Structure 1
Amino acid sequence: MSKQLQGFIQTITEQQLNVFSIRILQKGHLLDHWDRDRDQRRVQHSISKSFTCMAVGLALEEGLLQMDSTLGDYFDYDHVPLSHHSLPSSRELKLSDLLRMSSGHDSPPLWADERASLIEKDWAKYYMSLPLDRIPGEQFTYSSGDTFMISAMLQAATGHTVKDYLTPRLFEPLGIHDVAWETSPLGVTLGCAGLWISNEELSRFGQFLLQEGLWKGTQLVPADWIRKATAQQIETTGSADWGEGYGYQFWMCSHGAYRADGAYGQLCIILPSREAVICINSEEENMQGIMNAVWDQILPLYSHQ
């Protein structure tokens, strides 16, 4: 075990950060790893969003979706209200708005607690029943509901759930078999959450992203899509690593990195300039504390490779 990884473990121990597993790769090789107990499949929370983004890139390539596709193109619900102050209705929300989380809701729909208590089984219908609060496409507001609607839109466009659509195109080529991914009451892949994989499996996804969609000589997802998805598409107003901007279902990071992340400390950090991937699985609210430990303790490892 490297002294950098030892330093990381010491830091998370001293700060009582509940980290389960870490994988550190560079140039496709495993440099170091640590498991507190054993690496096992755990729910990845919002890292699921970044997988959904890969499905979108494939559907765009196949001509099944367009970036200016709207919810109204796929969902024809009665009584969708107009928004406040003559704003557009949710029918006019574009795929590009949803990918950047700029749908125009002040209070994002379909958070986990709301999903658990919602009587309406058709979550897409519920989402579209809510008025917008501002012009779409202009302001970032983190919204799992936006990603769920991406999943619902893709299912309407392709005839397959996001999970089933990705299985032969991404999961199986990456060697991620028998995937479990939670669904809505009507069988729509959550998209925004609910994917169960191990940290080692997540590290394969990270390496695939670093290689811009190329895996064992096959281009699984268009490189141009991954470059766009992992570049800043909209500004964010958070602090530290949450203020670096947002792409298409990916966060920008300091140190020229980007990441997929999930609530309670699932992290898939890509550092293109160092050809490096860092994947972490945790059950910890202080995600910035984990990332600070990465920057302080793990990042110096790469300068010596």
Structure 2
Amino acid sequence: MSEQLKGFIDKITAEELLVHSVRVQQNGLLLDEWHPDGDRRRVQHSVSKSFTCMAVGLAVQEGIIRLDDTLGDYFPYDQVQLYPTQFPSPRELTLRDLLRMTSGHDSPPLWADERASLQEKDWGKHYMSLPLDRRPGEQFTYSSGDTFMISAMLQEAIGQTVKDYLIPRLFEPLGMLDIEWETSPLGVTLGCAGLWLSNEELSRFGQFLLQEGRWNNQQLVPAEWIRAATRKQIETSGDGDWGQGYGYQFWMCSHDAYRADGAHGQFCIVLPYKETVISINSEEENMQGILNAVWEQILPILA
């Protein structure tokens, strides 16, 4: 089954874009799919951030946490480092700042390479030991460290990991069983990366988003949270589809779409006006090239 996707396949083949799997669902029905290597669970990298966002929406609904809560409310570390007087301490960062990635770091903490080499096992303490370079809440800088701190805040507030919190509330209702999600040395769900899913499972998540949090006639996550998370909350300065703005752990796209995405080409693209979800798993540095192929070859086939 790949007749509808022939143009997309031809384009990515001609441009040597290494796409493992693509699935297009419209009006809740499978339009076409292509899995030359089979569809199996692969690490979703920063697509994981969008799942962490769902945990925030649930915890806010349950009154466990608020968007104006600060890191200092949960991590009252005594800092030995002196902060520039014109900028707040990281203790003043709000959950909303972290969701929008407006924490105020020029060099965001806890990138993958830093996480791998970090001697400090308490990653939250490390994050909060670093001074801010500018006032938070004003400028977007993509930061996996911000998302890790969201996960850490939630774990402190809820008393369990984000993974365990989401299992009965999201993963099991969506039929995603035996979930694997990497953790920090102290057992905090990574949040920013490390979630393993198949492309079909990623498509299921996209359909749940398209339905504004409903699944099998049950409202799993508040619709107003889905709408807030998937609309532009802050401007971004990137090129192409990275310059369309950012929500709460979701990227805005051209063509009135939004997406969860991860390094090397994991995408969960939702086009509400087309009632369509496009999920892609790849191992490709040229992520904009994949999105261009989506807009040029898949968008025209959608009714």
TM over 0.5: yes
**2:122 maps to which residue?**
122
**2:64 maps to which residue?**
64
**What TM-score do the two structures reach when normalised by structure 2?**
0.99
Q: Deviations over 1:263-283 (max 9, x none)?
A: 000000000001000000000
Question: How does 1:168-187 map onto structure 2 within 5 Å?
Answer: 168-187=168-187
Question: How does 1:33-52 map onto structure 2 within 5 Å?
Answer: 33-52=33-52
CA separation in 2, counterparts of 1:128 and 1:146? 11
8 Å CA contact 2:4, 2:32 repeated in 1: no
8 Å CA contact 2:274, 2:302 repeated in 1: yes
1:173 Cα offset (Å) = 0.1
1:3 Cα offset (Å) = 4.6
Question: How does 1:266-281 map onto structure 2 within 5 Å?
Answer: 266-281=266-281
Amino acid in structure 2 at the alignment position of 1:243: G
8 Å CA contact 1:110, 1:145 repeated in 2: yes
CA separation in 2, counterparts of 1:147 and 1:59? 15
**2:225 maps to which residue?**
225
**1:5 maps to which residue?**
5
1:80 Cα offset (Å) = 5.5
8 Å CA contact 2:263, 2:285 repeated in 1: yes
**What TM-score do the two structures reach when normalised by structure 1?**
0.98
- Paired residue secondary structure (1:231): coil
Q: Deviations over 1:258-304 (max 9, x none)?
A: 0000000000000000100000000000000000000000001113x
Q: Deviations over 1:233-253 (max 9, x none)?
A: 000000010000000000000
Which ranges of structure 1 fall in alignment gaps of 5 or more residues? none
Q: Deviations over 1:97-123 (max 9, x none)?
A: 000000000000000000000000000
1:4 Cα offset (Å) = 4.1
Change (3 A) 1:80 1:44: farther
Q: Deviations over 1:166-200 (max 9, x none)?
A: 00000000000000000000000000000001000
**2:152 maps to which residue?**
152
CA separation in 2, counterparts of 1:6 and 1:120? 49
Pairing 1:21–2:3 present: no
Question: How does 1:219-298 map onto structure 2 within 5 Å?
Answer: 219-298=219-298
8 Å CA contact 1:41, 1:197 repeated in 2: yes
8 Å CA contact 1:228, 1:247 repeated in 2: yes
- Paired residue secondary structure (2:5): helix
8 Å CA contact 2:18, 2:284 repeated in 1: yes
1:85 Cα offset (Å) = 4.0
Amino acid in structure 1 at the alignment position of 2:147: T
CA separation in 2, counterparts of 1:82 and 1:150? 24
8 Å CA contact 2:108, 2:144 repeated in 1: yes
Amino acid in structure 1 at the alignment position of 2:201: E
8 Å CA contact 1:253, 1:259 repeated in 2: yes
8 Å CA contact 2:2, 2:33 repeated in 1: no
Amino acid in structure 1 at the alignment position of 2:51: F
- Paired residue secondary structure (2:279): strand
1:78 Cα offset (Å) = 1.5
**1:197 maps to which residue?**
197
8 Å CA contact 1:80, 1:128 repeated in 2: no
1:37 Cα offset (Å) = 1.4
- Paired residue secondary structure (1:56): helix
- Paired residue secondary structure (1:32): strand
Count of aligned pairs between the two proteins: 303
Q: Calculate percent identity across the aligned residue pairs.
A: 75
- Paired residue secondary structure (2:152): helix
8 Å CA contact 1:83, 1:133 repeated in 2: no
CA separation in 2, counterparts of 1:80 and 1:70? 19
1:2 Cα offset (Å) = 5.6
8 Å CA contact 1:40, 1:199 repeated in 2: yes
